[in-house]
């Protein structure tokens, strides 16, 4: 089979690879329907995370169950299945507490920009749809497996409530999905921070009521101006830089909440400053598995369409162009079709 391999920053190749095999009785093999490039894939692409030895890439997938190990009974060959970028047995204490992305047997997916993918912990990770959905739903279901699930978690961690006011920091795919989540959870006012016209447009389509183009402390000042100097109830931090975290913490009202889902890169939080804000802070890799049944329903019923974050579709063999287009911000998110 073929798939993407990163050799160095800026060097992702489409190569011939060994077909994945069932290694554990808890594995499944998926034939990829669609996959994509994630914002976090850009960290090694840009050389901001070490790439180390050449290795496959990708952690988002939906597809057809091709084979299952002896202990997998929840899905069967031929079914269309959605999973999460973090696999989970869905039975351990952490899974039972709803934190499947902290499963004691968790393995992060890392080989999904490929024609076939081995899924560890398949029993607890994959959710099959009742029928094979039409191709028009595939991008939305793919979004659910990562960015939509992550935006949902950001809104949940930020404790978005009906009638509340939310700010979304970050206008990438996760931030845009965070807007969808905040709207679904009933936020009355959703302020998207974005300076890119096409992203602003999509944010508005997804439910943003206001756009703030200023960044950093100027952005915070604008938010304060819009909220009688108090700040907002909930902030979804969908970037992962120190500046984005400061912007998030300073935009929240006293006693408000920040949900942070951008993988933090050199982010330090001052305990005394956090103390006096009364702001609640929770982050992490989203427990997507917990949301899958609900989010799959919302996509298949047409209630939400997070697939719209894919504004570029490429054949899988052009995966490198997907990285380049996202790096240069020519695309929000690149869909790859095997």
Whole-angstrom Cα distance, residue 305 to residue 299?
6
- Scan residues 214-273 and list those touching a copy of itself (CB under 8 A): 228, 230, 242, 245, 253-255, 260, 263-272
Please state, in angstroms and as integers, the Cα–Cα distance from residue 78 to each residue in 75, 132, 141, 183, 231, following that order: 9, 9, 17, 35, 50
Judged by CB under 8 A, does residue 276 bind a copy of itself?
yes
Count the alpha carbons within 13 Å of 223 in the hemisphere toward its beta carbon: 31
Per-residue mark of binding to a copy of itself, 66-95 (x: CB under 8 A):
---------------------------xx-
Judged by CB under 8 A, does residue 48 bind a copy of itself?
no
Whole-angstrom Cα distance, residue 327 to residue 78?
36
Please state, in angstroms and as integers, the Cα–Cα distance from residue 168 to each residue in 109, 157, 204, following that order: 27, 13, 12
Q: How far is the CB of 121 from a copy of itself (least distance, A)?
A: 16
Is residue 314 within 8 A of residue 334, CB to CB? The reply is: yes
For a copy of itself, the closer of residues 82 and 232 by Cβ is 232
Is residue 111 within 8 A of residue 164, CB to CB? The reply is: no
For a copy of itself, the closer of residues 10 and 280 by Cβ is 280
- Scan residues 309-328 and list those touching a copy of itself (CB under 8 A): none
Judged by CB under 8 A, does residue 284 bind a copy of itself?
yes
- Scan residues 100-119 and list those touching a copy of itself (CB under 8 A): 101-102
Stretch that binds a copy of itself, among 20-28, 96-104, 194-202, 292-300 (CB under 8 A): 96-104
| CA 333 from centre of chain | 11
For a copy of itself, the closer of residues 159 and 210 by Cβ is 159
For a copy of itself, the closer of residues 128 and 263 by Cβ is 263
- Scan residues 183-202 and list those touching a copy of itself (CB under 8 A): none
Q: How far is the CB of 253 from a copy of itself (least distance, A)?
A: 7
Residues contacting 152, CB < 8 A, separation 6+? 177, 181, 286, 291, 295
Are β-strands 80-82 and 55-56 bridged in parallel, bridged antiparallel, or unpaired? unpaired
Closest Cα partner for 235 from 208, 259, 211? 259
What residues line the site for a copy of itself (CB under 8 A)?
Answer: 93-94, 97-99, 101-102, 157, 228, 230, 242, 245, 253-255, 260, 263-272, 274-285, 287
């Amino acid at each position: 089979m073929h798939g993407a391999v990163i050799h160095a920053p800026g060097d992702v190749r489409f190569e011939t690879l060994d077909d994945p095999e069932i290694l554990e009785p808890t594995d499944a093999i998926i034939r990829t329907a669609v996959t994509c490039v994630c914002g976090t894939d850009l960290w090694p692409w840009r050389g901001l995370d070490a790439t180390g030895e050449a290795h496959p890439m990708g952690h988002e997938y939906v597809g057809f169950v091709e084979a299952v190990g002896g202990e997998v009974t929840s899905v069967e060959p031929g079914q269309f299945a959605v999973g999460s970028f973090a696999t989970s047995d869905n039975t351990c204490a952490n899974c039972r507490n709803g934190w499947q992305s902290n499963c004691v047997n968790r393995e992060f997916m890392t080989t999904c920009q490929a024609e076939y993918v081995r899924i560890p912990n398949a029993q607890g990770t994959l959710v099959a749809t009742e029928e094979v959905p039409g191709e028009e739903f595939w991008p939305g279901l793919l979004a659910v497996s990562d960015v939509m699930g992550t935006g949902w978690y950001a809104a949940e961690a930020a404790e978005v409530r009906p009638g509340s006011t939310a700010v979304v920091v970050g206008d990438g795919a996760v931030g845009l999905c965070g807007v969808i989540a905040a709207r679904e959870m009933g936020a009355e006012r959703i302020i998207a921070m974005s300076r890119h016209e096409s992203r602003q447009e999509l944010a508005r389509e997804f439910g943003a009521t206001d756009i703030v183009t200023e960044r950093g402390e100027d952005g915070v000042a604008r938010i304060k101006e819009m909220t009688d100097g108090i700040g907002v109830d909930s902030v979804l931090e969908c970037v992962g830089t120190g500046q984005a975290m400061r912007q998030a913490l300073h935009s929240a009202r006293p006693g408000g909440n920040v949900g942070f889902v951008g993988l933090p890169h050199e982010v330090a939080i001052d305990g005394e400053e956090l103390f006096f804000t009364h702001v609640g802070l929770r982050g992490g890799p989203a427990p997507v598995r917990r949301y899958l049944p609900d989010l799959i329903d919302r996509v298949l019923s047409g209630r939400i369409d997070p697939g719209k974050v894919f504004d570029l579709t490429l054949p899988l063999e052009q995966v490198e162009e997907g990285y380049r287009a996202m790096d240069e911000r020519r695309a929000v998110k690149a869909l790859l079709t095997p």
